[in-house]
């Protein structure tokens, strides 16, 4: 059940970062949201909220504008849930959290749960429709399902040849985008349950993202190429990670988000870097390194979530720290 937090009860570590962030520019600020790291994180579409699945206190909702923890979100009273995935509705009215088998729909206005359901299989990724009515779930049983989160039950099942590791749902919930371990990124017509376009990458698909206008798609394979391609004809428009002038080695992109006007793409990697891209020509505009707890330590910090908002860019690392980037 949710626990309400006020500012006095939630001590934060907030500082200006000057050094120790690896390659790229340093964050303007960093804030600790999870003491010893996180299993998962998601930033809401307008970067007002962040949902965190932490090692220490399970799920929680944060107000990014104030860097204040609002609620503890766990699936069982008195227990800290392992939150494997989370999502926000496009209107920022609802959020959902999932462990491997169960998902909960939360009302953002009061932090209360409005639905608790068991999934058909292990949940690997998820996204929400407007008003939190439906969820797109990427599952380990080689399917993605369109699930009625308020009433329960599977509406559509999208079958794949391997685990579905990454999903994204268009803001009007008419298109579903999936990435699977058989190296496929696939765009689906939700109502007709049919494939519109699909591309093949060179490794398991880590991350997919659909632009707000439903024109552009980002897809990336693990330690493989990352591409922006057309949702209209399925043709690759730009290859981002094959350019040796930008990267000396292949990267694993772990998060991606298009800007509201579709002109920019923000990406995060498993090695702790964040990139801003021009979607018109596929060129990189900025590059940052997220904050590391130990700047000289051997462990890298993966980027779980990125987002646009408040005239800034945001990135949440696997170490439980959110980064403000400018």
Question: Order of strands, edge to edge, in the sheet holding 154-159?
Answer: 123-128, 134-139, 143-148, 154-159
The answer as to whether 32 is a domain residue is yes
Q: For the chain, what is the domain count?
A: 1
Q: Is residue 237 packed enough to be buried (19+ CB in 10 Å), middle (13-18) or exposed (0-12)?
A: middle
List pLDDT tens digits, range 94-146: 999 999 889 999 999 999 999 999 999 999 999 999 999 999 999 999 999 99
List pLDDT tens digits, range 2-61: 444 443 334 343 333 333 334 689 999 999 999 989 999 999 999 999 999 999 889 999
The answer as to whether 2 is a domain residue is no
The answer as to whether 1 is a domain residue is no
Q: Following DSSP, what letter does each residue of 20-46 receive, concatenated?
A: ---SSBPPSEEEESSTT-EEEEEE-TT
Domain with residue 288: its CATH number is 2.130.10.10
CB 187: neighbour CB atoms within 10 A?
25
Q: Is the pTM of this model over 0.85?
A: yes
Mean pLDDT of 214-242: 94
For residue 4, the 8-state DSSP code is B
Mean pLDDT of 163-189: 98
Residue 222, classed as helix, strand or coil, is coil
pLDDT-derived band of residue 239, with 50, 70 and 90 as boundaries? very high
The answer as to whether 235 is a domain residue is yes
The answer as to whether 202 is a domain residue is yes
Give the pairing type, strands 154-159 and 164-169.
unpaired
The answer as to whether 211 is a domain residue is yes
Of 28, 17, 22, 50, nearest to 273 by C-alpha is 22
**Predicted local confidence at residue 207, as pLDDT:** 98
Q: Is the pLDDT of residue 243 over 60?
A: no
Q: Which of 28-42, 51-65, 145-159, 236-250 has the lowest mean pLDDT?
A: 236-250
Q: Which of 49-63, 215-229, 239-253 has the lowest mean pLDDT?
A: 239-253
Q: Which domain holds residue 77?
A: 7-325
List pLDDT tens digits, range 290-324: 999 876 665 679 999 999 998 999 999 999 999 99
**Predicted local confidence at residue 11, as pLDDT:** 37
**Predicted local confidence at residue 15, as pLDDT:** 35
Q: Residue 197: beta bridge partners?
A: 187
Mean pLDDT of 167-171: 98
List pLDDT tens digits, range 251-287: 899 999 999 999 999 999 999 999 999 999 999 999 9
Question: Order of strands, edge to edge, in the sheet holding 14-15?
Answer: 14-15, 29-32, 321-325, 312-317, 303-309
């Amino acid at each position: 059940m949710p626990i309400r937090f006020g500012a006095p009860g939630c001590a934060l570590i907030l500082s200006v970062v000057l050094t120790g962030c690896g390659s790229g520019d340093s964050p303007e600020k960093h804030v600790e949201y999870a003491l010893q790291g996180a299993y998962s994180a998601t930033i809401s579409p307008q970067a007002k909220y962040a949902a965190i699945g932490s090692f220490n206190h399970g799920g929680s909702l944060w107000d990014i504008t104030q860097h204040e923890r609002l609620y503890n979100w766990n699936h069982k009273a008195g227990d800290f849930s392992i939150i494997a995935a989370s999502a926000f509705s496009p209107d920022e009215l609802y959020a959902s959290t999932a462990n491997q088998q169960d998902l909960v729909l939360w009302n953002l206005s009061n932090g209360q749960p409005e639905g608790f359901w068991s999934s058909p299989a292990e949940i690997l990724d998820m996204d929400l429709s407007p008003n939190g009515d439906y969820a797109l779930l990427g599952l380990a049983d080689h399917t993605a399902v369109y699930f009625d989160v308020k009433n329960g039950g599977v509406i559509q099942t999208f079958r794949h040849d391997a685990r579905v590791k990454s999903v994204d749902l268009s803001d009007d919930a008419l298109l579903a985008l999936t990435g699977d371990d058989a190296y496929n990124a696939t765009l689906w017509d939700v109502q007709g349950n049919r494939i519109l376009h699909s591309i093949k990458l060179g490794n398991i698909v880590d991350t997919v993202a659909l632009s707000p206008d439903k024109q552009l798609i980002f897809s990336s394979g693990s330690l493989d190429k990352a591409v922006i391609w057309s949702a209209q004809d399925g043709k690759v428009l730009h290859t981002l990670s094959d350019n040796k002038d930008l990267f000396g080695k292949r990267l694993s992109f772990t998060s991606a988000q298009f800007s509201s006007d579709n002109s920019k793409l923000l990406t995060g990697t498993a090695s702790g870097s964040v990139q801003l891209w021009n979607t018109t020509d596929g060129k990189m505009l900025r590059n940052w390194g997220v904050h590391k707890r130990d700047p000289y330590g051997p462990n890298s910090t993966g980027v779980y979530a990125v987002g646009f908002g408040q005239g800034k860019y945001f990135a949440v690392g696997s170490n439980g720290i959110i980064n403000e980037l400018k």
